[in-house]
Amino acid sequence: MGGFFGVASKTDCVFDLFFGTDYHSHLGTRRAGMVVYSPEKGFDRSIHNIENAPFRTKFDKDIATMQGHLGIGCISDYEPQPLIVRSHHGTYSIVTVGKINNTEELVADVFRDGHTHFLEMSGGDINPTELVAAIINQKENIIDGIHYALELIDGSLTIMVMTPKGIYAARDKYGRTPVVIGKKEGAYCLTFEDFAYRNLGYQDFKELGPGEIDIVTQDGVKTLVAPGDKMKICTFLWVYYGYPSSSYEGISVEQMRYNCGAALAKRDNVKPDIVAGVPDSGTAHAVGYSNASGIPFSRPFIKYTPTWPRSFMPTIQSKRNLIAKMKLIAVHDLIKDKSLLLIDDSIVRGTQLRETTEFLYQSGAKEVHIRPACPPLVYGCKYLNFSRSSSEMDLITRRVIARLEGTEEVSEEVLQQYTDPESPKYDQMVEEIRKELNFTTLRYNRLDDMLDSVGIPADRLCTYCWNGQE
């Protein structure tokens, strides 16, 4: 995943850029960078590895030397950025958020059009942001180039491009990820997460629509390409990715999670002693469940946040599992001899939740009822770098389906039966997962209930990972 922040100010923008970018640290854990521009010094960039130290620590010294009235920054889970590019458009800096599925095809096209080379990252991959810049450079002006890139990309793409004139912002053509603009006296900002600007004094100005391209300067915001009608924003932003204080399309992340938990409670029939959430994203869902059911909310796990990063950061699965286990500190008095209902945002591989459940039993829990806040993940995400899974068979659902069907080559017609909560195959899959992970009971949130919890029309939400619908 990843997030970004940009500032166009009549005064120095570095302070706002630093803290606004830092507020996106929950969206990426490997690379971070900032670029500022001033007429006196031109472009000034800093990029750091943040795998072993937080953003603020790595960039604290940089803000003492950087200065400019324009700036963009990003947190990335993959590629180093922002990049500074020199082309016939002049010099500009660029950041992107998204996922490119047709990289090889696009690279071949760029080579045919006269581009000579790309700088490989470690592992031999091409930096996706550099590829986007190469596509932009195929056109006569930046606006046409950005629009061209949005159209060519198979997957998703949201862009910020900073030139000496201002910051161009383009939201993915189907709006799969957000771009929000804030305003205060003498400055505008652009952000992935709208909460990132509130403590900096900005107020809501506008949210870009799907495929919309704007330019932001110190003096104002101008729409260059009007938004399209079709939107497919990622529903998982509310379920998991988004910070609790964020909102997308005017819908609060925290409130949506309360709604999800309440929907789970209304369809449930178990009577545990306590309801708890797997910290942090499961907590709000659990509060919603508790409020709707009347079953007390408790915290049998406390997340040790001072030093441990997010659990899915390491690329090696065994290390991810270790971190997930070590950063959760149990409160044994709230576990022993208790029947617990535990809500997590989702079940992907199932490994971490199985270990958590085993630990609860070892700590004296009588029962462990599991309630994922979203439906079973049956399809690997095509549009965002949601997980580091190399294959859909990494999903516990697909492994169980393959076992039940006797083959990994399962037809789309059969897969659809496993996504239908009224289907016998769905019930069979859920029961197999329950037994494999050693839960007392397992009940997933339904897709219709989850979408109702968001509260915007279902046809404007991406649900591909749950039902395969484009």
C-beta separation of 93 from 35 below 8 A: yes
Radius of gyration of the chain (CA): 23
- Dump pLDDT digits (tens) for 84-128: 999 999 999 999 999 999 999 999 988 887 777 888 776 678 899
Instruction: For Cα atoms 291, 286, 324, give the angle at the middle one, nearest 5 degrees.
Output: 165
For residue 117, the model assigns a pLDDT of 81
Mean pLDDT, the chain, rounded, equals 92
For residue 238, give both structure tokens: 């509310």
For residue 313, the model assigns a pLDDT of 47
CA distance 11 to 380: 45
CA distance 442 to 152: 42
SS3 214: strand
Asked if domains 2-231 and 251-467 share a fold, the reply is no
What are the boundaries of each domain within the chain? 2-231, 251-467
Q: 260 or 30: which carries more pLDDT confidence? A: 260
Task: Say if residue 272 is preceded by a cis peptide, omega within 30 of 0.
Answer: no
- Dump pLDDT digits (tens) for 267-320: 999 999 999 999 888 999 999 999 999 999 999 988 776 555 544 444 455 555
For residue 305, the model assigns a pLDDT of 66
Q: DSSP letter at 126?
A: B
- Dump pLDDT digits (tens) for 42-58: 999 999 988 878 888 89
328: CB partners within 8 A, 6+ apart: 278, 279, 301, 302, 303, 304, 356
- Dump pLDDT digits (tens) for 316-339: 555 555 555 667 788 989 999 999
CA distance 92 to 52: 30
For residue 289, the model assigns a pLDDT of 98
pLDDT average, residue stretch 445-450 = 98
- For helices 128-136 and 103-112, the axis angle rounded to 10 degrees is 40
β-partners of residue 94 are 83, 161
In CATH, which of 3.40.50.2020, 3.40.50.12280, 2.160.20.60, 3.90.1640.30 is domain 251-467?
3.40.50.2020
325: CB partners within 8 A, 6+ apart: 352, 355, 356, 359
For residue 407, give both structure tokens: 């083959």
For residue 319, the model assigns a pLDDT of 53
Backbone torsions φ then ψ of 168, nearest 5 degrees: -85, 135
C-beta separation of 295 from 289 below 8 A: yes
- Dump pLDDT digits (tens) for 3-43: 999 999 999 999 999 999 999 999 988 899 999 999 999 99
- Dump pLDDT digits (tens) for 374-409: 999 999 999 987 655 568 889 999 999 999 999 999
Beta strands in 267-352, from DSSP E residues, in sequence order: 274-277, 301-303, 328-330, 339-343
For residue 312, the model assigns a pLDDT of 42
- Dump pLDDT digits (tens) for 365-376: 999 999 999 999
**What is the residue whose two structure tokens read 């391209």?**
213
* Residue whose C-alpha is closest to residue 210's, from 172, 248, 246: 172
What pTM did the predictor assign? 0.92
C-beta separation of 338 from 366 below 8 A: yes
CATH topology of domain 2-231: Glutamine Phosphoribosylpyrophosphate, subunit 1, domain 1 (3.60.20)
Task: Say if residue 280 is preceded by a cis peptide, omega within 30 of 0.
Answer: yes
CA distance 96 to 18: 18
